[in-house]
Amino acid sequence: MLELSNNNEQPEIPDKRYFTISEVSELCGVKPHVLRYWEQEFSELSPVKRRGNRRYYQHHEVLMIRQIRSLLYEQGYTIGGARLHLIHDHSKEDSNRTKQLINQMIAELEEILTLLQ
């Protein structure tokens, strides 16, 4: 199993749709039992479960696991602190998207106003 100390040393994520728990474990340097525990602690982690209750993670979940690993193991966050950090980052992204949409709508409305004049 890979035990990597830095995100830069982690292997590249293959271009595929779903990853098994063992693949994610290797890609992120985290043991499978830790991944199952994190699913309980972080509501954003919800892999698809198929036959035999097997977990299949998507690309964005692998990225999130790497971020969680970094927060906990490298930056020294607690589980609760990491959860709050992820929520804060998510709300900041939503805020930025909202601002972009508003600016785009303003530009489109100004174009319409110019056409009407």
Q: What residues contact 26, with CB distance under 8 A and at least 6 apart?
A: 1, 2, 11
Q: 9 versus 82: which is more confidently predicted?
A: 82
5: pLDDT strictly greater than 70: no
For 7-90, which CATH class? mainly alpha
Please state whether 113 falls in left (phi above 0), alpha (psi between -120 and 50) or beta. Answer: alpha
20: pLDDT strictly greater than 60: yes
Domain boundaries in the chain?
Answer: 7-90
**pLDDT for the residue numbered 101:** 81
52: pLDDT strictly greater than 80: yes
Asked whether 7 and 70 are in contact (CB, 8 A), the reply is yes
Asked whether 38 and 61 are in contact (CB, 8 A), the reply is no
Q: What percentage of residues in the chain have a pLDDT greater than 90? A: 54
The type of residue at 43 is S
Cα within 13 Å of Cα(115), Cβ side = 6
